[in-house]
Amino acid sequence: MRRMSVTNLVALALGLAFLYAPIVILVVYSFNASRLVTVWGGWSLRWYAVLIEDRAMIDAALASLGIAIASAALATLLGTMAALALTRMRFRGRLPFAAMIYAPLVMPEVITGLSLLLLFVAVDLDRGFFTIIIAHTTLTMCFVTVIVQSRLIGFDRSLEEAAMDLGCPPGRTFFAITLPLIMPAVVAGFLLAFSLSLDDLVIASFTNGPGATTLPIRIYSEVRLGVKPEINAVCTIFIAVISVVVITASLIGKSRDQGRGPPLAT
């Protein structure tokens, strides 16, 4: 193991400070007793108390959570299928399929949102939570595909082939061998889909209907009016939830990876 040079250490320290300082400041100020968001008035939980009273905000948060769980589940299913199709199968129209998987990853959100809304209007589908779930699934399944795909390419095909040579039907081979091996990537894909959906403002703004307000839409309408201490508190809770989920997931992934040793042990 080599020592790091001073320049590299400085680059790391500056980079991480830049990434974390705004978030830390936001969290600290959510515990500020003062109504003025820029003057420090001592520690307090008063904005969290205000938040518990805010029915509209809680409803929006619950709606967002429901949409995120539903669309992430659907996206994980479809995304994993797409990853299997791309890595394991030869079929006609494979190239356009790959193009449709990679395009949404970089497509500006305003375009994805606008086009889905126009589809829903064209087929006369009532807009609401359901349409947001469809929109989020379409976007996030592509991220799931990319994650699962890289895992599928990375692992040893001979296990699957051995199972099938021994007469294990392909369906069972998938559930007994392939799925357990790609599980960390599937879980990671689900979590990414979940957090992308929870986070999305633009696509949800296009595809929501009257009464279907998600947390980002709610936060956005408040933020446009300026900084408010309650919003700092909402954001802090949001960050705490996401951090706990991500750290737990990465610990699970790690212990699985380490315990993998000889692949058949799992």
Partner 1 sequence: MARRLIHARSGGAFSLGTKLTVAAPYLWLLGFFLVPFIIVVKISLSETALAQPPYAPALDVAAGWQGIQDFFAGLSFANYLTIAGDNLYVFSYLKSLKVAAVSTAILLLCGLPLAYAMARAPRAVRPLLVTLVVLPFWTSFLIRVYAWINILQRDGLLNQVLMWLGLIDQPTTWLATDTAVYIGLVYSYLPFMVLPLYASLEKLDETLLEAAADLGCPRWKAFFAITIPLALQGLGAGALLCFIPIVGEFVIPDLLGGSDAVMIGQTLWMDFFANRDWPVASAVAVMLVGLLMVPIAVYQHLQTREIEGR
Instruction: List phi, psi (to 5°) of 228.
Output: -130, 140
Look at residue 32 and give its three-state secondary structure. strand
Using CB under 8 A, which residues numbered 4 to 23 contact partner 1? 4-5, 7-9, 11-12, 15-16, 18-20, 22-23
Q: Is 252 in the site for partner 1 (CB under 8 A)?
A: no
Using CB under 8 A, which residues numbered 162 to 221 contact partner 1? 164-165, 169-171, 174, 195, 198-199, 201-202, 205-206, 216, 219-220
Burial 170-188 (b: 16+ CB within 10 A, else e): eeebbeebbeebbebbbbb
Q: Which residues, in sequence order, are CB contacts of 31 under 8 Å at separation 6+? A: 43, 44, 45, 47
Using CB under 8 A, which residues numbered 63 to 122 contact partner 1? 78-79, 81-82, 84-85, 89, 91, 93, 97-111, 114-116, 118-119, 121-122
Q: Is 59 in the site for partner 1 (CB under 8 A)?
A: no
Query: Minimum distance between the CB of residue 218 and partner 1, rounded to whole angstroms?
Result: 10
Query: Of 197, 69, 75, which is closest to residue 137 (Cα–Cα)?
Result: 75
Taken in order 122, 123, 126, 132, is the CA torsion positive or negative?
A: negative
- Nearer of residues 48 and 220 to partner 1, judged by Cβ: 220
Q: How many residues bind partner 1, per CB under 8 A?
A: 92
Q: Is 137 in the site for partner 1 (CB under 8 A)?
A: yes
- Nearer of residues 49 and 100 to partner 1, judged by Cβ: 100
Query: Of 86, 97, 257, 105, which is closest to residue 180 (Cα–Cα)?
Result: 257
Using CB under 8 A, which residues numbered 220 to 249 contact partner 1? 220, 223-224, 227, 231-232, 235, 238-239, 242-243, 246
